[in-house]
Amino acid sequence: MLPVLENLALDLTDNGILVITLNRPSKLNALNAATIDEIGRAVQTALDNPQVRGLILTGAGDKAFVAGADIAELAALDELQARRAAERGQEVFCMIEESTKPVIAAVNGFALGGGCELAMACHFRVASDNARFGQPEVNLGLIPGYGGTQRLTQLIGKGKALELMMTADIIKADEALRLGLVNHVVPQAELLGFCQQLLGRILTKAPLAVGLVIDSVNAYFDKERHGYQTEANAFARCFASDDFREGTQAFLEKRPAAFTGK
């Protein structure tokens, strides 16, 4: 059973896609501490629920995915509270990044500050043609605190990431696509349907293998892990799985595979 949350709307489709909608449209879905905690709760629920096979994160309304952090809440923090807030945000966003179930960000408008960081924590991003991206924290005397300095650099490279974070420039969807920050740009009316279709294609594949792809790619960026060894271990693990046996048998028999994730 899905939890009832104040700042999020949860919808589980018939094919196992959990759509998580940040639902603070009057605040342009800005992130506060309560919303970040609810995102963590929703993602953990999805990971624990075998009926959930993949996730889509989006924002309510047609203006914003997440327009940033709740500035009034941030302004009241002292140094220690700010560090704890950053660590909590990083914890939740890492939970998304490390999810073995695929997560797509359907970016339906402004994705600024913490919103851009949330989108980058997802495995990939699809943007509406009116989407805007940026890390404008230096305008407030801040830097990104939820992993933005790390993930933006991973996605678009050091030089351009530094430029965007130091100038606070906001870029349009087509520029985000050119830089590799997003995977696709579609008309806003088609955004959610496109993401559901794309995720539906992934869900026809072996769930265990999909999760191991995510883990192996993440290992490349983890200084405490050896990416090639992680890949070799995951490759070997596939050979002990029911999915491998089913996938190879289905290929030989020229029929669709019926994967179980085991």
Contact 16, 52 (CB under 8 A): yes
Interstrand relation of 170-172 and 8-12 (parallel, antiparallel or unpaired): unpaired
111/57 Cα distance (integer angstroms):
12
3 CB-near residues (< 8 Å, 6+ apart): 10, 41, 42, 45
Cα R_g (the chain), whole angstroms:
19
**Residue with structure tokens 């002292």?**
78
Give the Cα separation of 169 and 135 in Å (integer): 7
Angle CA 142–76–135, to nearest 5: 25
Structure tokens at 203: 């869900």
- Distance (Å, whole) CA 24 – CA 15: 27
- Of 79, 117, 175, 224, the catalytic one is 117
CA distance 207 to 100: 8
**181: number of Cβ within 10 Å:** 26
Length of the chain in terms of residues written: 262
Side chain identity, residue 151: R
Q: Which of 137, 175, 190, 253 is catalytic?
A: 137
CB 259 within 8 A of CB 243: yes
Decide if 117 is catalytic: yes
177 three-class SS: helix
Q: Which residues are catalytic?
A: 117, 137
